Amino acid sequence: MEILKTIADYRQWRKAMTPDQGVGFVPTMGALHAGHLKLVASSRGRDPLTVVSIFVNPLQFGPAEDFARYPRPFDEDSRLCREAGVAAIFAPEASDFYAPDFSTFCEVAGLDLHLCGAARPGHFRGVCTVVLKLFNIVQPQRAYFGQKDIQQALILKKMVRDLSLDLEMEIVETLREPSGLALSSRNVFLSPDERSRATALSRGLFLAREAWAKGGKSAAALKGIMRGEIEASSPTRIDYIEAVSQSALAPLDTLDVPAVLALAVFYGKTRLIDNILLG
C-alpha cells in the first residue's frame, strides 16, 4: 500500500496506472472505524483499486467546533487500510492542499438550509469544496459515502450531477453497534455513561419508523415519538429532530413522499447525528 502525502506524489502514482485500473474512492477525515471499512469493502468488491483519503479539512469546521481535538490516529488508520486491501492512502498536509491565498469555493444552494446546514453555517460549503478538489486529484470512477451523513451524501450527489462530474456516487447503509448506536469517529469522545444514553437516538428513530410503517404519517407525531425517547436519556442539548423530504431536504408536515427522519443531539460536548430513510 502506498502512502502519498502530496498532490504531486498522488498524481505520479495515478499516472502509472493503466486505464482499466479504475479507482474507487473513500474520502475520510481519518479515525477510521468499521463504518469506513464497510465503505472500503464496498469499493473492494467493485473497483480494481481503492484509494482512501485522510484529511481533517479545516474548511468544514466552524470556529467553535472540534477541529483541534478531532482524533488523528494516523498509524492505526494506515494499519486498518493496509489490512483492508487499500491500494493507496492520500493524506495531504493542509499547507500543500490549500495555498495560503486559496479562495475558490463550491456550494450546492438550497439543500443546506435545514438539518446540519442550519446549525453549522459554512459546513457544507467546506465539504463540497474539499470533495470537489479531492475528486479532481484522485480521479475516481466511483466514490463512497456513508448514509449516516445523509445530508452530506445527498448534497454531494447533487454537486456531481449539477457539475456533470464523471463518476458514480454510492451511499452505503449506516453501520451500527449491537446497541443501535451509529458508528462515528466522534464516539470516542463519549464517556461510558454518555455512550449508553446515546443509544436513545437509534431507539427513537426505530420507534418512529414502526409508527410510520403502521400508517402514522404526521411529522409532528413522529417527531414527538423521537423527542420523547431522546429526552428520557437526559441529552445535554437537542440540536434538531426533523422529518424532511429526501429530494429537497425540506421539512414535511405529512410523510407522503420519500422522507428522512434525522436528528443531531449533544451528549456532553459531543454532537452525534443519525437518521433513517422512509419510503
Cα angle, residue 71 at apex, residues 79 and 46 outer, rounded to 5°:
45
Q: Which is nearer to ligand PAF, 183 or 221 (CB)?
A: 183
Task: Please choose, from the candidates 203, 188, 215, the residue with its C-alpha nearest in 3D space to the C-alpha of residue 76.
Answer: 188
Number of residues that bind ligand PAF (CB under 6 A): 10
- Under the criterion CB under 6 A, does residue 29 sit at the interface with ligand PAF? yes
**Cβ atoms < 10 Å from Cβ of 102:** 11
- Under the criterion CB under 6 A, does residue 147 sit at the interface with ligand PAF? no
DSSP 103: -
- Under the criterion CB under 6 A, does residue 272 sit at the interface with ligand PAF? no
CB of residue 127 vs ligand PAF: minimum separation in angstroms? Answer: 5
Q: CB under 8 Å to 185, separation ≥6 — which residues?
A: 29, 30, 31, 32, 33, 70, 71
Would residue 36 show up in a list of annotated catalytic residues for this protein?
yes
Instruction: Tell me the three cell numbers of residue 271.
Output: 454532537
Q: Which is nearer to ligand PAF, 27 or 117 (CB)?
A: 27
**Cβ atoms < 10 Å from Cβ of 96:** 12
- Under the criterion CB under 6 A, does residue 131 sit at the interface with ligand PAF? yes
Instruction: Tell me the three cell numbers of residue 92.
Output: 495531504
In the shown chain, the binding pattern of residues 33 to 72 toward ligand PAF, with x for contact by CB under 6 A and - for none, equals: ------------------------x--x------------
CB of residue 221 vs ligand PAF: minimum separation in angstroms? Answer: 32
- Under the criterion CB under 6 A, does residue 275 sit at the interface with ligand PAF? no
Alpha helices in 102-251 (DSSP H): 115-119, 123-138, 150-162, 192-197, 199-213, 219-231
Catalytic residue among 33, 36, 114, 123: 36
CB of residue 90 vs ligand PAF: minimum separation in angstroms? Answer: 11
Given 130, 208, 249, 261, the residue binding ligand PAF (CB under 6 A)? 130
- Under the criterion CB under 6 A, does residue 229 sit at the interface with ligand PAF? no
Cα angle, residue 136 at apex, residues 133 and 139 outer, rounded to 5°:
135
Q: Where on the chain is the footprint of ligand PAF (CB under 6 A)?
A: 27-29, 57, 60, 127, 130-131, 149, 152
